[in-house]
Chains A and B, each alone.
Chain A
């Protein structure tokens, strides 16, 4: 079972600030790295699934990078907005399953 760790556990930022979270995972037995956004009263939704070392993906103001050799991924949010408030889950995948970290809970203050 992959041991996925995320930091920080929670953070508060002002509207307009940029922020980033960290996800670390064992670099052996790695297949894919997943990022999901989980808003209150909703289901988690995929942001990115990345497999290649050095991969960078972007969706609007949110982007992510992947380093499989050292076992970490960063998620960046540029110009945070109140609607970005959510828990961000990172998951390390073997071929058929994804093991998640405990998540980073982001609160954007208007």
Chain B
């Protein structure tokens, strides 16, 4: 069966520090991969998605970047965090034929 894991689960970082959140999927090949964020009091915002290795689409201009170095690995990064980067980050994968999303456990980022 397919599984998705992301880490770390919780992160407290100072403003200006770098960020790396990792996500891996097991049990499937060539999934579509996604990074979403829920900021305080807001809905789930799509940040990046990828349909293949090295292929990244950015939905919202921001302080973050994403990379897909391997088929089932998706990484969210920042060189210098801002206070506004605080939030709950969710990685997800989907089967291209149905589009149904399967979410990871989430990573809560607090930038101080």
Contacts and interface: CB of A to CB of B under 8 A. Distances in A.
Given A43-B104, A96-B32, A31 B59 contact: no
Contacts of B51: 96
Closest 10 A/B residue pairs (Cβ): A102-B43, A43-B103, A100-B44, A46-B100, A49-B100, A97-B49, A32-B99, A44-B103, A93-B99, A100-B43
Contacts, number: 54
Given A34-B100, A43-B104, A96-B49, A102 B59 contact: no
A22 to B, nearest CB: 15
Contact of A34 (B46, B96, B99): B99
Contact of A103 (B44, B98, B101): B44
23 contacts: A34-B99, A36-B101, A43-B103, A43-B105, A43-B106, A44-B90, A44-B103, A49-B98, A49-B99, A49-B100, A93-B99, A95-B99, A96-B96, A97-B46, A97-B57, A98-B94, A98-B99, A99-B46, A100-B44, A100-B45, A100-B46, A101-B43, A102-B43
